[in-house]
Amino acid sequence: LDVFDRVAMLPMPTICQLEGIALGGGLELALACDFRIAGDDLAQLGLPEVRLGLLPGGGGTQRLPRLVGTGVATEMIMKGMRYDADAAFAKGLVHEVVPAAELTGVVEQRAASLAAQAPRALRHIKTLLRAAFDVPVLEGTAIERELFCDLLTTHDVAEGVTALSENRKPVFTGS
């Protein structure tokens, strides 16, 4: 496995903060992350390797079509297209675009929001989202049921239900 595969396989959610220019490997690293948040100063995002006689070598040909669909990925990779922040958002390459001056703060807020979720449930969700592309639907739903049942007896589920009934935010511990 290369570094991008290792990032994609991390059990916890990952967020990529994009600003300035993210071409080639920079975009491939972003594609390995679960969330991509761009500053409005993101000038270029793309996989321009074909313009050098190359192809994306860090997972771009595999992760990009899964993210934005074959049509957009084909055009982007075969033509070496580059997009600014707004175009990247319109094509589904990034989850949101925020003012550059607020980018780090927004990323930290999103990370805190994810950190407040039940860690075990997040790990299971990430496993299932990957399985959606790797296994047939019936196998994926069987795994989903298994992981759902795994969560039923956890402290976090009890805490979530109790917090809901008490009209407060849950405090998850991962157990």
Q: Give the DSSP per-residue string, the chain.
A: --HHHHHHT-SS--EEEE-SEEETHHHHHHHTSSEEEEETT--EEE--GGGGT----SSHHHHHHHHH-HHHHHHHHHHT-EE-HHHHHHTTSSSEEE-GGGHHHHHHHHHHHHHTS-HHHHHHHHHHHHHHHHS-HHHHHHHHHHHHHHHHTSHHHHHHHHHHHTTS-------
| 38/92 Cα distance (integer angstroms) | 12
Tokens of 139: 């196998």
Rounded-to-integer distance, Cα 53 and Cα 140, Å? 38
Residues with a catalytic annotation lie at 28, 49
